[in-house]
Structure 1
Amino acid sequence: MPFTVREIESPDPVTRVAAADAAPRLERDDIGEKMVLNMGPSHPATHGVLRLVLELDGEIITKATPDIGFLHRGDEKIAENMQYNQFVPYTDRLDYLAPLSNNVAYALAVEKLMGWEIPPRGKTIRTICCETSRISSHLMGLGAMALDLGAMTVFLYTFTEREKLYNLFELLTGTRLTTSYTRVGGQIRDLPERFIPQLKKFLDDFEPSLNECDRLLTRNKIFVDRTKGIGVISKDRAIAYALSGPNLRGSGIEHDLRRKHPYLDYDNYDFDVVIGSAGDCYDRYLVRIEEMRQSVRILRQGIHKLPAGTINVA
């Protein structure tokens, strides 16, 4: 029995309880030094990307020292010995949660150096790729966060929706994860005939599912207690650490490249830049929830305005 300091000979439960009440209690100062714990890189919550050296005072993490570099693969050096399009498959692996976005980012950089501009249809297809990837990535973040905090139901909901997206990716590219769909100067192929109808169906089904995740977490006391005021990143620190995406916007900084420096055809879309205020885990969660709603808005507009024509530079 964890509350006793000596063996109790009597089997009488009343005697045991009385002995436990009389046993000396350990005060916090008697416990000793703080615990140092290595979390990762082989840990369900870190997925091999980093190691965290944690200092704990009971259940409170008082200090966290990151040890990064476990995924360094020298991609830039590898690229030096390749032709431009030969490197596209390597961009899939830069972020396996959003490979289509990485394909596009690399192609845009090379096209800018070449002075190329792809046709309007190709731009819209790339925008659709980027926003479906954003939803897929945010669903992974939301589901993993919920699971680590004990919300198994939300994890199952998010991965159900991700599976639908993977089916779309497979229809579009022939594979689910390492897509290699974009090429410098355009795309490897046009949209399949069934892609747009299936994307519309996904969007119709996804919005109620996202609202259900919102309902289950946003006002859940346990979830709020475990995220509000936790991991606060101030505006100044977010800038000093060169944060981007939801981590930057969650700290209250309204900076989104799609709005500040529009690429592809994002300047033709109506959407809101979502920002937080407190810079804590809760705000970053809220930003990702709302960003998925904005991605749905962008995708619906992209479907509506998808132009005809070619997809590659002539």
Structure 2
Amino acid sequence: MGTITAPPARPWSEKNYWLMFYQVHGLTVTGGSTGLLDGRGGTWWGDKCKRHALVVMNCADVELSQFSSKNSPQMHIAVCQSSKVHLTQLTITAPWDSPNTDGVHVDRSQDVRVTRSTIGTGDDCVSIGPGSRFVTVDGIVCGPGHGVSVGSLGRKGATESVEYIDVKNVQFINTANGARIKTWQGGKGYAKSISFTDIKFTNVDHPVVINQFYVDRHDVPNMGAVALSNITYTNLKGTSRYKTAVEFDCSESGSCTNIHVNSVAITAAYGGETVARCQNAQGDTSGYVYPKIPCLR
């Protein structure tokens, strides 16, 4: 595969992507040991309008493997309106302060797997967006970055759904977040059947997060929330940079239900105790759980 380097910013500024696979069925792309996509993101990060490096759009039966992507202007790889897509053995890198450089973003797609990869960027290592179903993230080393995020969902009151998401065997190292679910105030729809299993945190700012108040001043305030249900956390361990290791911030509308936490041990990276902050979440714990989560049974 060799190295593919993006052109200067201006010649492709009229498009929102650099490379795209569109309406392709049965595609395999592998880079071997030398495959590299260089997005030259440093020429873009100061601009308001940025471009994704590689987009897989309206495709099926696609495998991308064994190549690197560095310094994308915005998202490195976006999988949109596609099915049966496998991304494996990838190395994705960008500086910790590079804006919106998600490693892999999944949007309105199903049967997507992201496996055996190392991702360190300035945004989410993997983000799972609206309309996505049956997504597996397995065997990822994430850091730096904003963790693995389900959402954001329900912006500007939109009705959206995400379901059957399985995140497992992930190491978060020096990330801003770890296992995160985020929804906007005023959103509608649901996110359900989401599991985080066998997760290790090393000096993570916010290891476990549910945030139903992902809102800025331009959004629709105080009008319900995307319903979250059947969220399971099993065998999570490691260290938190800050005292608060678990944050469940749920709406008063009763839209955070069936939260199950089993076997969690998150201690402070530099000594001292950790705590959990919890409001309006309903569910239960089993096994050894530290820090104790006060609003779960």
TM-score, with length taken from structure 2: 0.23
More helix by share: 1
Bigger RCO of structures 1 and 2 (CA < 8 A, at least 6 apart): 1
More strand by share: 2
Structure number with bigger Rg: 1
